[in-house]
Amino acid sequence: MGLVIRRGPSRAVATILWNRKTDEFTLGQWLRGRIYERRSDLSADGKHFIYFAMNGRWKSKAKGAWTAISRAPFLKATHLFAKGDCWHGGGLFTGDRKYWLNDGYGHSELQDSRTLYRDAMFRPPENYGGECPGVYYPRLQRDGWQLVSSERRGELSDVSIFEKALSGGWILRKFAHAQVGAPPGKGCYWDEHELVNDRFGVKTVQQDWEWADVDGQRLVWAANGQLWAGYLRSKGVQDAKRLHDFNSMEFESIVAPY
């Protein structure tokens, strides 16, 4: 299973379950607020979703920003931790029923179903700070990406370069940016991608890919509000197929079935 986080307009976000065997998509719920996708994770069995969210209602019970665990693809919390600011937050699954909470300056526990357990022993292998890279970079490395370098590209701009080896000598390269004053349409954390094959002397910059990864024998990527899949041949990506177009989606009030 996969979980698509579809944002837009900027203060509305939806979650959609993606069955990667059948490429069927099932809508979960909408949230009027922001989900920080780089501080979120899906359990390996596809049943639970941990996420960090913010709606700015600072006097509410959840203090305007919170970490929650839900039953994928829904957002209704089975575990809820009020945060009150956007430092740290979110987490990773360390097993189907265990999770690490990116605690930082602390959460206030509001709800715990006791069906999952906090992994008090886990620590990310490297400390990448309290915001998105602190969860995102360990998640990438857990999922097969290799961090090859980190560079400063200006006073307020850093980029970390990750690579994943593919079949046929291909390499998928991810440039994870942390940047103040990012290009139009990008947040302060954003990714770009390229495909490289030294055997064939090919290097292709995929300027519109906002996200990309490997799914079995195929390459999958998100671009312009759509999810795509294709296969790598000697000349690059072939047999590209659009799996789903999320652009027409609009906010719906949906009640979780639990």
One DSSP character per residue, 179-220 reads: ETTPPTT--SEEEEEEEEETTTTEEEEETT-SEEEEETTEEE
The Cα–Cα gap between 101 and 160 comes to 23
100: phi > 0 → left, psi -120 to 50 → alpha, else beta; which? beta
| Residue 135 contacts residue 39 (beta carbons within 8 Å) | yes
So where are the chain's domains? 1-143, 144-247
Q: What is the pLDDT of residue 15?
A: 98
Q: Quick one: CA dihedral 183, 7, 136, 163, positive or negative?
A: negative
Q: What is the pLDDT of residue 138?
A: 97
Q: Which helix (H) or strand (E) holds 101?
A: strand 98-101
| Residue 211 contacts residue 191 (beta carbons within 8 Å) | yes
pLDDT digits 0-9 by tens, 211-228: 999 999 999 999 999 999
Minimal CA–CA distance to 250: which of 9, 33, 5? Answer: 9
pTM: 0.94
pLDDT digits 0-9 by tens, 20-63: 999 999 999 999 999 999 999 999 999 999 999 999 999 999 99
| Residue 93 contacts residue 125 (beta carbons within 8 Å) | no
pLDDT digits 0-9 by tens, 101-122: 999 888 999 999 889 999 989 9
Q: What is the pLDDT of residue 172?
A: 97
pLDDT digits 0-9 by tens, 160-178: 999 999 988 999 999 999 9
